[in-house]
Chains A and B, each alone.
Chain A
């Protein structure tokens, strides 16, 4: 296949940025989308030009590092698939593919397609944990957990923290990400003692980082590579409101 790539180039956070077009010839259908960028970069290096900077690491859909916004969709056209698992058989000869970074105020661009997502770490710092020091634990089977709750907690915990939900949202809201963690811990007995503070503090940090509000468009769920459900956002709303009413000052 021969393809045209329109790629966002931005030298650093303060650069205005622009699109640059590349023709890429002889693309194999068996390549992954990131391998297409490997080929392009190899060529750019050989031509003495600057390769395109993009984030990637595990290339098996679990680390959450890859983050391309492809033809207007976070992680491209395949459902429940990260950019690294998208393969070129999704495209046809002659296609033009536009590739941008995640665009959100809370994810400033570092260079080209690479963005800074440390705001997610700071949200977890605000309460996305259970306060148990090493060595404090009781026997694992001393805390039986209903299988339905355990499975629901796992489904929420499958979030890879890639930020596709934010990139897909017209408001750049991080509600799906925050709700996944709040849900996981709210569903488990271990999470109960800090349940209220967790919901309030994580939402407060989310707002402080500059993520937008949720207007229930569902774009986050549609683009999430791990199928995190909107139900979690409903649960977060309940947790947050409930905590606000009952928290003792």
Chain B
């Protein structure tokens, strides 16, 4: 049985007691300790900056040209914090409770409570850094509400909250670079973890410009490398987002937790053709005012405007009268898929549903008429005023939609379809964020820890920054305090030589295959298998087929991929090959995990486990974290971490 090392004692004092009793490293010793941080998103940048402030010598690695480009930058909506500035009854306990419930009771209580506890300090820290959050006229911070909660606890900066938070962390990081406490390794990709005597002691990285393979020592290694949604090829992730660092660590002994837990976001712009390279999210906030519908008639090819009101099926309002268009992400996504699969989809691909603002525009127009005390206003004037209001609230999203689709969303309903957005699964970590490899930590989306089977909106930014600013600076000391006698290990150590050789061998193999198909060809094929059989709905037969198909595809990849160019130059195709090779292994494990979990929970929907078409959890048999150990190609051993609920009692989520 896995030990998560959750401190004993009452839930609300676990973290404060831990902090007061954890081992410390004195400042003189910190100066002698080197820490490697891989990834510079919210988790990585905040961890690197905070550890450097404490006096550790930090090396930060990222594959982009600048730390500021990590994909945290693209988060739109906001960041939750239990500040209770709105006096609406929020508290640390409520944030904790909402997060555990929102995660469909598959997260650890101890971790989630700590997350809620540190949430308020994150907002303080960001404001002190100059992050320009939205404010009210009185000069105080503004809040908005988000799905799955009944209080207003989301802080935001227009639709660019992730950007502003990341730039805050990035500025703190650059300050430490200037002070000489952090060394940056731009355009470097981590290819291997180096273990010495069972402990993580460094990494092998490739300088992407020169192609040089480098060895780097660290007393500890932090992986802050984000999620693996790109295993589906099409997702809302950045093109470069990948699982390589986490996967290499997994193959070195770090267990992988709940790999099948993926979040499919309901409101994305649909695929427009085979050329599609990524999917773009339209903020969840659009469901506050928009109504979702499809035609009542199958294969209806009429334009939306030609379909009369009584021939429209507002299926979310029909199926879930209590929550309507505001059901959680997983429920909304599945309902859209159900309608499209049954032949009611719209648009050229028939894989889309309408998100309609016509009624909201009219409603806002009428409110304006009332506010201005006008009478006998013609309908088109009401519509014009309504459009102004909608533009003020959602203008940037409507503009983005218009650029991508060429359609005017003020005149015609938007077409939307679910897309892969976030991965709740990741490397298994204990309470201290350490993986099953001593000295190897995992932070942010890359770990599995806090969101259970479904993440609530505005919680990803909170978790990334909590891990980096307020958790790892304490927990890493507990490990490094015993390491103060360890001198820097020479990178001539056989463990480094061996790790470098194995990383090099893989790269050489790619170049030497000289096959017929590009890396993207295989990536697209993998994505199709994953989406069809391990996507929004999963069943035993499909998952078993997917496992065999992935194995066959992987074999074909290693025989027939074509990677142009050489090893010792800037070679983006070579980078992609390494990432896709790892996705081809991860995809299989995701299917194995999904097959093992014969229950529906959160984003994981097993067609065999339903109750009147709704997801049915099985707490008697599956209230555990599935942590998988790599034992060799296609060979994984399941370890279970039982989830104990002392405070929150799991119940059925009902939105009807």
Contacts and interface: CB of A to CB of B under 8 A. Distances in A.
Interface of A: 12, 28-32, 34-35, 38-39, 42, 44-46, 48-51, 53, 55-65, 78, 81, 85, 87, 89, 110-111, 114, 116-118, 120-121, 124-126, 128-141, 143-147, 150-151, 153-154, 157-158, 160-161, 184-185, 188, 190-191
A154 B142 CA distance: 14
A65 B69 contact: yes
Given A117-B65, A157-B167, A45 B50 contact: no
A56 B403 CA distance: 18
Contact of B135 (A35, A60, A150, A158): A150
Contact of B73 (A44, A46, A62, A117): A62
A81 B396 CA distance: 12
* A-B pairs, 9 with minimum CB distance: A144-B139, A129-B171, A137-B128, A137-B124, A154-B132, A30-B272, A140-B127, A134-B50, A125-B178
Contacts of B562: 45-46
A55 B239 CA distance: 10
Interface stretch (B192-200, B275-283, B431-439): B275-283
Contacts of A135: 121, 125, 470
A87 B140 contact: no
Contacts of A121: 66-68, 174, 177, 184, 186
A87 to B, nearest CB: 6
Contacts of B46: 134
B186 to A, nearest CB: 6
Contact of A42 (B139, B163, B236, B520): B520
A51 B66 contact: no
Contact of B69 (A38, A64, A132): A64
Nearest to B473: A134
A85 B403 contact: yes
Contacts of A154: 132, 134, 157-158, 164
A64 B277 contact: no
Contacts of A160: 163
B643 interface: no
Contacts of B520: 38, 42
Interface string B505-517: 0000000000010
Place the interface of chain B in its size category.
35 or more
Nearest to A43: B518
A38 B275 contact: yes
A100 to B, nearest CB: 17
B469 to A, nearest CB: 5
A30 B273 contact: yes
Contact of B406 (A87, A132, A139): A87
A69 to B, nearest CB: 17
Interface in B126-147: 126-130, 132-141
B163 A60 contact: no
Contacts, number: 219
Contacts of A34: 277
A185 B174 CA distance: 15
B654 to A, nearest CB: 35
Interface in B459-517: 469-470, 473, 516
Contacts of B65: 55, 65, 116-118
B93 interface: no
Contacts of A137: 121, 124-125, 127-128
Contacts of A51: 564, 572-573
Contacts of A60: 74, 236, 278, 280-281, 400
A120 B67 CA distance: 11
Contacts of A110: 209, 570
Given A32-B404, A87-B403, A141-B141, 16 more contacts: A12-B569, A30-B275, A34-B277, A57-B64, A58-B69, A64-B68, A64-B73, A65-B69, A110-B570, A118-B66, A134-B46, A134-B50, A147-B136, A151-B132, A157-B157, A190-B128
27 contacts: A28-B272, A30-B272, A32-B404, A35-B275, A38-B277, A42-B518, A55-B65, A57-B71, A58-B73, A59-B278, A59-B280, A60-B236, A65-B69, A89-B406, A111-B570, A117-B66, A118-B66, A120-B66, A124-B171, A130-B130, A135-B125, A140-B127, A140-B141, A150-B132, A150-B133, A150-B139, A184-B132
A48 B564 contact: yes
B170 interface: yes
B71 A58 contact: yes
Contact of A153 (B73, B132, B184): B132
A191 B130 contact: yes
Contact of B74 (A32, A58, A111, A158): A58
B124 A56 contact: no
Contacts of B406: 29-30, 87, 89
A130 B53 CA distance: 14
A70 B84 CA distance: 49
Nearest to B570: A111
Nearest to B158: A154
A180 B163 CA distance: 15
A118 B470 CA distance: 29
A204 B572 CA distance: 35
B74 A45 contact: no
Contacts of B121: 135, 137
Nearest to B516: A46
A241 B83 CA distance: 41
A49 B518 CA distance: 12
Contact of A190 (B130, B140, B157, B400): B130
A57 B273 CA distance: 20
